[in-house]
Amino acid sequence: MQPGRTVFAQLMDHVTRFEFQICVARYDGEYKVSRFSCWDQYLCMAFAQLTYRESLRDVEACLRALQAKLYHVGIRARVSRSTLADANETRDWRIYADFTQGLIRTARALYLDDPLAVDLANTVYALDATVIDLCLSVFPWARYRSTDAGVKLHAQLDLRGLIPTVVQITEGKAPDVAFLDDILIEAGAIYILDRGYVDFARLHRFTLEAGFFITRWKRNLRFQRRTSHPVDYRTGLISDQTVVCALAKARADYPEPLRRVHYLDPTTQQRLVFMTNNFTLPALTIAQLYKSRWQVELFFKWIKQHLRIKAFYGTSENAVKTQIWIALSVYVLVAIVRKRLALDASLYKLLQVLSLTLFEKMPISTAVFDVGFQFDEDRDRNQLQLFNL
């Protein structure tokens, strides 16, 4: 590493510029562009995410104050609010979506050996969606109720490393279950879903493609019991049954047997009934795996709290999607750096340190060591934490 390089420049060393330019070329992102490149746009928007800038005017003022350092970071053009706004409005958001998918592949390889909450060799995914609220008068294209606007962020989260592997941004009124049509089911992988994804025709696809699902049983689902299996009542298990759908339409959509696990949570005393097509895992493991679905809820809350995806710098659909994808790329990039440098800090704390030291000339590991210890653990006790050690 060359001495005297800024933390921001070191962070961007973990990005492959060649792959970024492939994404730009795929969508003609720099057609008739002479000065402010897509890479300049990405660096400015990444700076805004890392330092929690409130607006494009705020981004412009801060970067112009650091004008002498921008060339060495990689920003070659003069930054202006209007130029950055035009870039967000007109340059295809799919450039940054494809680029983020490349970072996701890198991150997944790094976190491949991370442990799960349950000792399993299978890949385990959690799926869910969240609505990002928008103002209807400012974003009329995003209407999904009579008085509300918003877009829906769907995610498939790999529970090894908490890396989002599939992300989709749709209109706010899009049903959650439609996301299942667009995912690629991996043979042997386990997919944890909430009750909103119970659609027997779609769930049958998991069985046909040798994947496994675990979801909650809906109260109005009628079934016929085929077999009951012994359970250890001391663990909270009430029953473990092999069942089939009782109604003709449900049986036509899902003709195979299902497994129904009834469990009493010893902590909350809540009765939970799970449905799965996996007949080999212990019944208690099914219950424990479903409990880990909370990680995807935590992921959504975390990115809403710590990334700029609730207040937007542009009002068009392209600008909103560009900002969300760049925010996700920053999340994944920081996760990559944390793993590669073996940094002993939570992702939240690492982002806080980076926000203070982006233009300091010191190794990232030194910045985390010198600044990170100054954060009082009691002050961020209530913060949503990912990547805890």
pLDDT value, residue 382: 53
Task: Judge if 348 and 233 occupy the same domain.
Answer: no
pLDDT value, residue 377: 47
Residue 270 phi/psi, 5-degree rounding, is -95, 135
CA–CA distance, 159 with 157 (Å, rounded to integer): 6
Q: Is residue 222 part of a domain?
A: yes
pLDDT value, residue 77: 81
Task: Judge if 324 and 284 occupy the same domain.
Answer: no
Which pTM was predicted? 0.90
The 271-276 sheet, strands edge to edge: 163-171, 149-158, 124-134, 190-192, 212-216, 271-276, 258-264, 237-245, 223-229
- 80-94 burial: b if 16+ Cβ within 10 Å, else e: eeebbbebbeebbbb
CATH number at residue 274: 3.90.350.10
Q: Is residue 387 part of a domain?
A: no
Task: Judge if 154 and 32 occupy the same domain.
Answer: no
Least Cα distance to 262 among 289, 233, 295 occurs for 233
Task: Judge if 142 and 242 occupy the same domain.
Answer: yes
pLDDT value, residue 348: 85
- Written as tens digits, the pLDDT of the chain (389 aa) is 445 788 999 999 999 999 999 999 999 988 887 788 999 999 999 999 999 998 999 999 999 988 888 888 888 888 889 999 999 999 999 999 999 999 999 999 999 888 887 888 889 999 999 999 999 999 999 998 888 999 999 999 999 888 999 999 999 999 999 999 999 999 999 999 999 999 999 999 999 999 999 999 988 889 999 999 999 999 999 999 999 999 999 999 999 999 999 999 888 889 999 999 999 999 999 999 999 899 999 999 989 988 889 889 999 999 999 999 999 999 999 999 999 999 888 888 888 889 888 998 889 888 887 654 554 444 444 555 555 53
pLDDT value, residue 374: 52
Task: Judge if 190 and 52 occupy the same domain.
Answer: no
Evaluate whether 42 touches 16 at the Cβ level (below 8 Å).
no
Q: Is residue 68 part of a domain?
A: yes
CA–CA distance, 246 with 9 (Å, rounded to integer): 61
Domain of residue 350: give its range.
7-96+317-372
pLDDT value, residue 386: 56
pLDDT value, residue 371: 57
Task: Judge if 249 and 290 occupy the same domain.
Answer: yes
Q: Token match 């003069």: residue?
A: 78
Task: Judge if 92 and 128 occupy the same domain.
Answer: no
Least Cα distance to 62 among 76, 79, 86 occurs for 79
Task: Judge if 77 and 138 occupy the same domain.
Answer: no
Domain count, the chain: 2
Task: Judge if 193 and 269 occupy the same domain.
Answer: yes
Q: Is residue 141 part of a domain?
A: yes
